[in-house]
Each structure stands twice: as C-alpha cells, then as structure tokens.
Amino acid sequence: MRIFKDLNIDFLGKRNLFYLVSAAVIVAGIASIVFKGLEFGLDFKGGTEVVVRFPRAVEIGELRGIMRNADLGSVEIKSFGGETDYIVRTELKGEGSKISDQIKVTLDKAFTEQIEVLQENRVEAKIGAEIRRDAVIAIFVALIGILVYIGFRFKFIFAVGAVAALFHDVLLTLGIVSICTGLIPGLNLEFDQAMVAAFLTLVGYSINDTVIVFDRVRENLKLFKTSPLEPLMNKSINTTMARTILTSATTMVTMLALLFLGGEPTRGFAFTMVIGIITGSYSSIFVASALTLDWAKARNAKITF
C-alpha cells in the first residue's frame, strides 16, 4: 500500500509550536498528579481481594449494596473475566484470612446459590511500597538501557533526543491517565501492575518508532553528506510517515478491541496503551528529531556516519 507518497511537510520548522503543545499537556498532567493524584490499586496500597464465581449473572449494584452493609470499609466490586465472576476488594487486611472469610460469609448469607471462591489474595502495604519502588526503577533502567543502545547503534546525540522523547511520552501519558481518572464511568484507571506493564510496553513501542526515523536519517546522512541537518531530518520523517501511520493504526485497532471488549481487568492497560500509541507516534514525528536537532545546534555539532 502506498500512502503519503511525495509528502513534503516542514515538521521541524514548526517544532516550537509542538514544544508548546507538549509543555501545556505535561504541565496540566503534573498539576493533576500533584493535586488529584493517581488511584493506586491493591497491588500498591495493600488490602484483601477475593475472586468469586456465581452460578448465574448478578447485578454489580446488588453486590455493592450487600457489601456496603458488611462493615468492610471501602469495598470495590468489579466483573472479572466471565459474566458470573467478580472481584471483591477492600483496603482492610485483618489477621490471617479474617477479611476474606468475612466477605465469603456475607455473600453466603445474601445468596442461596453455591458461590465458588476462585482466588484469595492479601497484599501488605510494605509489599505495595516495594512494588511501587521496583516499578519506578524498572522504567528508569529501561530508559538507561535505551540510552546506551541508541548511543551505541547511532550517535550519543541521537540517544539524548530519543530518551528525552521517551521521558516526554511517559510524563504525557501519566498526566493524561491522572486527568481521566474518575472522569469516564466504567473506566478502571487504577495504577496497578498491569498499568506498569503498559508503561514499559509504550516505552518499547515509542523507541521502535523513533529508531525507524533515526535509521532513515542515518541513511540520508550517508547519501547526502553536504546537506544541512534540518531539511535532511524533515525528508526522513516524511519518507517514514506511511510506516508510522500504518503501524500505529494497526496497533491502535488491537488496543481499542482490548479496551472495549477485553473486560474490566484489562481496561486500564488498554487505555494506557491507546494514549501511549498516540503520544509515541506524536513524539516520533514532532519531538525526538526536533530535540536532536536543537541539541546538535546548541553544541554546534556536525553529525557524520
């Protein structure tokens, strides 16, 4: 398929405008994180979780009404996988299996049918803190690994632009997740282990897109050794545009299917990936090369291969 043939857009000539757009969204996101915060899931804040299976579909509203009167503090109930499976979560932990037993007794009293318990999980706050710390370390280690890889495969000046663009993607996506938390009914945006996996995945996705553009820049630098860097980068972005749009569109279709059809457990992951695909593609076109160009100009560096 041939699309965007003979495209000739001056992306880098408009880079200051896109810097402003990115800065505005990032500032709004940081303000949301500071004043509104993120909704941490059970993985991070600790508590008790019981997965139960009913012989028939039950209204979640009915379950919430039953658990509200069970003296279990703040209780969260979500569908899980099939139509008859539900997760009952509470921040309470208690000793041993006290809280999960209390949940089971409450359900047994309210329903005459046999209720099957599929999972019982108890997460300590200390474990949640360790998971939160490890998640931050994992993302930073991934970014440092990418910095070394890009520096080795291309030039260090490209690595600076690529990693700065990845920080941009993570901040932008995290901010949008914080802004959207609680705004859309039925959208679970708890920051849990699945959300961490989504951020690591989007880092890998975004750098792959950026590497395609940088690879074309390197090829053109070898072919047109006397050409200025800015028009050569513009040419590289234009010639890789079809690949960027087609890859993003096909990945987006998969993530949208997971978002709307995958059920509650994968909804936060899918939503984060949808935002990540948009920010990753945006940064590959408008941010990564622009930062590399400005970094090269600031250092008065001449890039050759």
Q: What is the pLDDT along the chain (305 residues), one digit of tens a residue?
A: 566 777 889 999 999 999 999 999 999 999 999 998 888 877 777 788 888 888 888 887 788 888 877 778 777 787 776 778 888 888 787 777 788 888 888 888 888 888 888 888 877 766 667 777 887 888 788 888 888 888 888 888 888 888 899 889 999 999 999 999 888 776 778 888 788 889 888 888 888 888 889 899 989 988 888 888 899 999 999 999 988 889 899 999 999 999 888 777 788 889 999 999 999 999 989 999 999 999 888 888 777 77
Please list the alpha-helical segments (H only) found in 120-263.
125-153, 156-180, 193-223, 229-239, 241-261
Name the strand (E) or helix (H) holding 27.
helix 15-35
Q: Which two tokens stand for residue 43?
A: 């993985």
Q: 119 near 51, Cβ under 8 Å?
A: yes
User: In the prediction, which pLDDT does 273 show?
Assistant: 94
Which helix (H) or strand (E) segment holds residue 21: the answer is helix 15-35
Give the span between the Cα atoms of 183 and 72, in whole angstroms: 26
CA 157/CA 162 separation, integer angstroms: 9
C-alpha distance from residue 147 to each of 162, 217, 237 (Å): 8, 18, 21
Q: How far apart are CA 251 and CA 198, in angstroms?
A: 14
Residue 128's pLDDT is what? Answer: 66
What does each C-alpha distance from 253 to 38, 77, 169, 246, 270 come to in angstroms? 27, 29, 20, 11, 11
Query: Please, which residues have CB within 8 angstroms of residue 73's CB and are 6 or more apart in sequence?
Result: 90, 91, 92
Task: Report the SS3 class of residue 287.
Answer: coil
What predicted TM-score, i.e. pTM, was given to this entire model? Answer: 0.80
- Provide the 10 A C-beta neighbour count for residue 70: 17
Asked if 240 contacts 212 with a C-beta cutoff of 8 angstroms, the reply is yes
Residue 288 burial (C-beta neighbours within 10 Å; 0-12, 13-18, 19+): buried
